[in-house]
Structure 1
Amino acid sequence: MDIKQLEVFVTVAKYKSFSKAARELFLTQPTVSSHIQNLENEMQCVLLNRNSKSITLTDSGKVLYNHAIIILNDCKKAIYDIKEYSGKIEGSLNLVCSSIPEAFIIPNFLEKFCKKYPNITLTIDHCDSNLVVPEILSERVTFGIVGSKKKHPHIKYSEFVHDELVLICPKSIELPNENGYIDIHKLKDLSFIMRKDGSGTRNVIVKALNSSPVPLSQLTTRANVESNSAVIEMVKKGIGCSFVSFISIEEMAKRGEINAYRIKDYSFERNFYFIHSRKKIFTPTEKKFLEFFVDYYDIRDEEEDKVINSND
């Protein structure tokens, strides 16, 4: 058994695919298959079920997978410790975000992190809030940032940024208001551009409106779109109105490019959460990122401290 075989085995298990593992590791698919076959021959057992559309672990494969993760992490830690001793901290990690954190929250943090750790490479992917948790649980990514919270026994949520949604309208639509607040019944007179199902923004809108006298079903929806940026551009073009994160349009509103309103007597507030698996064994690079993140956003949580300290 060698380290490369274990790395290939873990990657195939992670993606449940020989072809995806090959792309991840920059190997040919026959090479990946050969590594797995040699490992199974050495272990004298079948490690992967190949009979279904996706690859799954056998019972023996599950046992080896748990050991392989520890072995690979120990190897990474050894390399990390040596480089840290020589004054060069490097490595790679991945992060997945929903649209608002990706564009308006994380860049400021990454500016500081990358200055302190210039040799750590980050891969940042985007997907809707509802899809971030499956990515974390599958260990395709280590950390996630989302705008809505769904309880899961294996996911740790840490609240770190507060936000609110505001109603935005084209410059041509000025609504009667009191210090920027409008009556909720005015929403019935507007046409809306909504985020698609799965986004944290839509979840907040649906929850707030459905507990009000004007549920979402009573609004005129002109379009459902994928991204926050697309929503804003369509509003600016006069196609309709929408609810968006205040931090994404604050400067536009100040410049008078759009009109922004809040709803009288109703809250459209939310939090953003930093998430990771409770079962994840962090590599040294991942642990360094977690420590920096917790310190940067002043996340003081006993459970989070326990997670960090348990990896010492």
Structure 2
Amino acid sequence: MELKQLEMFLEIARQGTFTEAAKTLYISQPTISMQMAALEKELGAKLFERQGRRNALTPAGKMFLRYATDILMLRAKAVKAVSAYSREIAGTVNVWASSVPADYLLPRFLPDFLRQHPRVFINLARSDSQEVWEKVAGYAADLGVVGTLGDGAEIGYVPFLADHIIVVAAPEGKYGRWGPEIGVETLLAEPLVVREVGSGTQHTFEQALAEKGFPAATLHVVARLQSTEAVKAAAAAGLGLGVISELAARRELAAGTLRGFRVKDLNLRRQFYLITHKQKVLSPATEALRCYLIEKAGEEET
């Protein structure tokens, strides 16, 4: 069994066809077919089966996928440990973050880091916490920032920064006469503009309500929107109360274009986390960014 065979096997599993895998690896299809035939012969089992136009993993292939992934990751660790690995902090770091960290936290921290390390390029992708977790688990992201933790012992995490979920509204009309804190009963009686399912903000909000005996079905939700900016705009236009991160509303609250309210007796504090895959070998640039963000978070919370 050769490492190149494992690399071919994983690429076929990712791409779904021998043809696309061969293109990605810049080799011919006959070559990749021959190597897979040799691998299947050595293992004594078929790894792929035809399903329409795609090559799907057989049960044996799915089992072998885990071992092939671990072998190649272990190879990467060995190369790092025994070779003359360059300690220069350079290269691309793929970061996935949920919406609040991606839009309002990381952009504040990254300029200083990049001034210190001008040969690093940050590729920042934005999604909800659930997908960010999946990207890190699937080795597609070097570093993730999430507002809720997912399942999986393969992911390591450390606390980053804390946040509070608040309710915001247009400053005019009855909302302009409210005090800075409202009760749950008041909240349930008002039209709400919330984030999409999978959002860490929405998960924290609904979980806090459920702990007080109010399931999500009791909410008068009039709109679910895909971004915090959209929720803020809808609330400012008078559509209803918006449920968002306090960090995301700082500018509007300071300018007076939105009013913010805490909800009495609800635990709407949440923690952001930096997450990495325990088996992934972090590049010097990724490790430097991770340490830098932990340091900056500590400075902000002291």
Identify the TM-score tier after normalising by the shorter chain: 0.7 to 0.9
Letter in 1 for 2:50: N
Residues 231 and 143 of structure 1: is their aligned pair in 2 closer, same or farther, counting only changes over 3 Å? same
**1:166 Cα shift?**
0.8
**1:16 Cα shift?**
4.9
Query: What does residue 33 of structure 2 align with?
Result: 37
Contact 2:193 2:231 in 1 (8 A): yes
Contact 2:171 2:257 in 1 (8 A): yes
For structure 1, which runs of at least 5 residues remain unmatched after alignment? 300-312
**2:45 is the alignment partner of 1:49:** no
**2:140 is the alignment partner of 1:140:** yes
Q: For this pair of structures, how many residues does the alignment match?
A: 290
**1:127 Cα shift?**
1.8
For residues 141-176 of structure 1, the C-alpha deviation after alignment (integer angstroms, 9 at most, x for no partner) is 222111112343222221110100111112234435
Residues 4 and 283 of structure 1: is their aligned pair in 2 closer, same or farther, counting only changes over 3 Å? farther
Query: What does residue 307 of structure 1 align with?
Result: none
Letter in 2 for 1:286: T
Q: Secondary structure at the match of 2:50?
A: coil
Letter in 2 for 1:96: W
Query: What does residue 254 of structure 2 align with?
Result: 254
- For 1:117 and 1:5, the matched residues in 2 are separated by 37
Query: What does residue 302 of structure 1 align with?
Result: none
- For 2:208 and 2:195, the matched residues in 1 are separated by 15
**1:78 Cα shift?**
8.5
Q: What is the TM-score normalised by the length of structure 2?
A: 0.79
For residues 15-52 of structure 1, the C-alpha deviation after alignment (integer angstroms, 9 at most, x for no partner) is 35359976xx9x56884745633644675657952535
Query: What does residue 195 of structure 1 align with?
Result: 195
Residues 61 and 291 of structure 1: is their aligned pair in 2 closer, same or farther, counting only changes over 3 Å? same
Contact 2:190 2:240 in 1 (8 A): yes
Query: What does residue 111 of structure 2 align with?
Result: 111
Letter in 2 for 1:206: E
Query: What does residue 212 of structure 2 align with?
Result: 212
For residues 104-152 of structure 1, the C-alpha deviation after alignment (integer angstroms, 9 at most, x for no partner) is 1111222222122222222222221122222222112222111112343
**1:92 Cα shift?**
2.0
**1:280 Cα shift?**
2.4
Contact 1:73 1:283 in 2 (8 A): no
State the identity %. Answer: 21
Query: What does residue 152 of structure 2 align with?
Result: 152
Q: Secondary structure at the match of 1:51?
A: strand
- For 2:9 and 2:203, the matched residues in 1 are separated by 38
- For 1:32 and 1:295, the matched residues in 2 are separated by 48
- For 1:138 and 1:246, the matched residues in 2 are separated by 31
Residues 210 and 137 of structure 1: is their aligned pair in 2 closer, same or farther, counting only changes over 3 Å? same
Contact 1:160 1:274 in 2 (8 A): yes
Letter in 1 for 2:132: V
Query: What does residue 16 of structure 2 align with?
Result: 17
Q: Which moved more, 1:47-56 or 1:169-178?
A: 47-56
- 1:1-312 aligned at under 5 Å gives the runs 10-13=10-13, 15-18=14-17, 27=23, 31=27, 33=29, 36-37=32-33, 39-40=35-36, 45=42, 48-51=47-50, 55-56=56-57, 57=61, 63-72=67-76, 81-82=85-86, 84=87, 88-175=88-175, 176-178=177-179, 180-212=180-212, 215-298=215-298
- For 1:65 and 1:101, the matched residues in 2 are separated by 30
- For 2:50 and 2:3, the matched residues in 1 are separated by 26
- For 1:117 and 1:42, the matched residues in 2 are separated by 46
**1:75 Cα shift?**
5.8
- For 1:170 and 1:279, the matched residues in 2 are separated by 47
Contact 1:195 1:227 in 2 (8 A): yes
For structure 2, which runs of at least 5 residues remain unmatched after alignment? none
- For 1:21 and 1:167, the matched residues in 2 are separated by 48
Contact 2:133 2:146 in 1 (8 A): no
**1:208 Cα shift?**
1.5
Q: What is the TM-score normalised by the length of structure 1?
A: 0.77
Q: Which moved more, 1:98-107 or 1:66-75?
A: 66-75
Contact 2:73 2:279 in 1 (8 A): no
- For 2:111 and 2:229, the matched residues in 1 are separated by 22
